[in-house]
Each structure stands twice: as C-alpha cells, then as structure tokens.
Amino acid sequence: MSETVERVRSYTFEEFVDRVKSFHGYEAIGVIIGGFMIDLAYSRLPENGLIDAVCETSKCLPDAVQLLTPCTLGNGWVRVINVGRFAVTLYDKRTGEGIRVFVDPAKIGAWPELEAWFFKLKTKKEQDPEDLLKEARRARADMCGLQAVKVADWVRKPRHHGRFVVCPVCKESYPADDGETCLACQGKLAIEGHDRSSEPYFVLLENL
C-alpha cells in the first residue's frame, strides 16, 4: 500500500482508499489503518506460504484483510475472535507461526487525531475526516505493536465438515454434529462472539 502491499494486492494509497470506499461504503479510518497493519505484518512474513488471518474485532479490520489478502469471511481464511481488540494476525496455515499487529495505546499519543478517534475522545461531529486521514497516512502503522506468535490448533483446523441432516423442527438442513435439532431451534444463538441464546433473531411473518 501507499508504496507497498505487494505479494497479494498492490495498491497506491489513493487506490486503496478508493477500494475502501467502494467495498466498505466510506473511507473508514479503521480500514485504512488496518491496511497499514497488514502491510507491516506482510513485511515480516516469509515470502512464500499460505497465509490465514485472525481479527480480534469485527469492526473495520476484517475489511482491510478482505481487500488486501486472499482471506475472506466466506472462504474461512480470515476468522474473527471478537475480543474487542484492534489487532490482526497473519500466519502460515501449515505451521501456525505468524505476526500479530495491534494498536498500542502507549504509542498512539504521538498521533492526536488518531488517539481521539481510537479512544472516542471526540464525537463524529468534532472529528475532521480529512485531518484524520492525513494523520493516518503519515503515521502508517507507527502506533502499532508487533509480536511473533503461534496460532493455536483449534483456530487453524478447518471448520467442521461433517454430515448435514434435516432438522426435525424447522425442516432445514444443519450440521449433524450440532445435536438433535439445529442450533437455531435449540435457541443457541451467538453474534460476534456474544451469546444471545434466549432471544430469537427473527419472527416469521409469512411463508412466501
């Protein structure tokens, strides 16, 4: 990006901002910063290797991953473990070894616009989107920490590929491993890692 993000997708900064607008709907600063974070992670990874990703938030960051790597939500190469930290790990899927990049609160103070955005010190109205974007472009991943990590096997292993059966309650198909009925009919619902088990997520108005 800016000048790099080779290897997978190569954009100038302006091109990347355009791609963010087109995919994400607007120039979200979190996606822009995410782009620099991914750039930094790639710079520390070996040239070859199949790269998978983990995001620790579902906000913004996964879109940077989806724009700049082969990993998408639907192909399962990026997975979200939503603990609310602005951090992304790119790792070699054979070994689990990789690079974790996170926004470091100890470093972000050097970038007042980014700090205000990150810690929500200003309302949306008080923020100047242009100043923020300019500062982000100068900062790149300067406010980030970097770690060599090994991703756990349970994250690396492919999602379950067992048998599918028809649920006796809703008559739709579901993974047999989930139990006697599907998780929806069991009322076992979760959204972005937060359990919501007791509340149905839609009401049927009419079969069409």
- What's the min distance (Å) between Cβ of 184 and its own copies? 4
Q: Which of positions 1-20 make contact with its own copies (CB under 8 A)?
A: none
Residue 100 found at the interface with its own copies (CB under 8 A): yes
At 54, list the tokens: 């983990």
Task: Find, among 7, 98, 100, the residue nearest to 47 by Cα.
Answer: 7
What pairing do the DSSP bridges indicate for beta strands 97-103 and 87-92? antiparallel
Q: Using N-to-C axis directions, what is the helix angle for 13-24 and 29-44, rounded to 10°?
A: 120
Alpha-carbon span 77 to 93, nearest angstrom? 9
Residue 122 found at the interface with its own copies (CB under 8 A): no
> Which residue in 2, 97, 127, 142 binds its own copies (CB under 8 A)?
97
# chain residues binding its own copies, by CB under 8 A: 91
> Which residue in 21, 94, 134, 150 binds its own copies (CB under 8 A)?
150
Q: Which amino acid is at 14?
A: E
Question: How many C-beta atoms lie closer than 10 Å to residue 146's C-beta?
Answer: 15
With 0-12 / 13-18 / 19 or more C-beta atoms within 10 angstroms meaning exposed / middle / buried, residue 151 is buried
Q: Which of positions 153-172 make contact with its own copies (CB under 8 A)?
A: 154-155, 159, 161, 163-164, 166-167, 170-172
Residue 207 found at the interface with its own copies (CB under 8 A): yes
Q: Which of positions 48-67 make contact with its own copies (CB under 8 A)?
A: 54, 56, 58-64, 66
Alpha-carbon span 155 to 171, nearest angstrom? 31
Residue 81 found at the interface with its own copies (CB under 8 A): yes
- What's the min distance (Å) between Cβ of 68 and its own copies? 12
Residue 173 found at the interface with its own copies (CB under 8 A): yes
